């Protein structure tokens, strides 16, 4: 095993209060901290907690295409392992939820013989379950990135919970916000194959600071293209109904309903 190590940590969503003690220690004690977070207060805290900290913001926005940005960040993370240092990468939320560069870096580092690992953090989905009072185990929960959901016409059960990530940038490959609502129109059209037009859709945004409430907007599906979406919002669609039991399995499992 090589001397350098890589630890990727999640900082949670809500400033400091959702950061684990383990993640905090790695940020404070590592030789080098690279971070990509969207909270100015958290950026300041990381810089104070470890004087050898560096934001990845400039590298992220340097390349017009997001995929190129991801590759550049992965390469940059790995370049620091050559110096026999203990590297910590801190990412907003949970570090493998829509955070491809760090996950790729860990996989490559392990393949190259480095000690590399990922520590979990609270994600927007965790906050959503708590704020909307949802138990995903009641009828199942399916989670998709919104563009991927459309491109592959993902199959899902409308009688379970549905979560769609990054609805604000459907079809967008660069860092620019869309100038129209074409993506949301396409999303509405696909969803109306499974839900009535009046079915409730929730635009959810977790609170970023302690003491603040989440933003929760409930609208009928037909009004989805009119919704104002932020870069940190998530769509939640409640179950359309209940799925009937397979009574053959009820009999086989000897379950009393």
Catalytic choice (60, 66, 76, 154): 66
Residue 185 φ/ψ, nearest 5 degrees: -65, -40
Confirm whether 66 is a catalytic residue. yes
Query: Which of 26, 35, 70, 195 is the catalytic position?
Result: 70
Active site residue 209: no
Choose the catalytic residue: 26, 35, 92, 236. Answer: 92
60 catalytic per annotation: no
Choose among 46, 14, 41, 10: nearest CA to 27: 46
Residues recognised as catalytic: 66, 70, 92
């Amino acid at each position: 095993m090589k001397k350098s190590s890589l630890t990727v940590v999640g900082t949670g969503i809500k400033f400091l209060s959702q950061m684990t003690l383990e993640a905090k220690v790695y940020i404070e004690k590592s030789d080098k901290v690279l971070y990509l977070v969207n909270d100015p207060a958290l950026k300041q805290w990381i810089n104070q907690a470890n004087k050898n900290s560096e934001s990845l913001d400039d590298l992220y926005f340097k390349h017009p295409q997001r995929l190129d940005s991801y590759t550049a960040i992965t390469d940059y993370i790995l370049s620091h392992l050559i110096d026999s240092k203990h590297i910590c990468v801190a990412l907003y939320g949970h570090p493998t939820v829509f955070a491809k560069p760090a996950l790729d870096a860990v996989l490559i580092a392990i393949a190259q013989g480095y000690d590399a690992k990922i520590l979990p953090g609270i994600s927007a989905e965790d906050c959503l379950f708590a704020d909307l009072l949802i138990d995903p185990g009641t009828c199942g929960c399916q989670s998709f990135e919104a563009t991927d959901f459309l491109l592959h016409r993902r199959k899902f059960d409308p009688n379970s919970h549905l979560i769609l990530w990054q609805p604000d940038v459907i079809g967008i490959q660069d860092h620019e916000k869309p100038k129209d609502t074409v993506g949301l129109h396409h999303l509405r059209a696909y969803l109306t194959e499974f839900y009535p037009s009046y079915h409730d859709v929730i635009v959810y945004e977790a609170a970023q600071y302690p003491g603040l409430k989440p933003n929760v907007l409930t609208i009928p599906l037909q009004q989805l293209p009119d919704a104002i979406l932020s870069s940190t919002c998530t769509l939640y669609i409640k179950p359309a109904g209940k799925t009937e039991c397979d009574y053959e399995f009820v009999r086989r499992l000897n379950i009393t309903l």
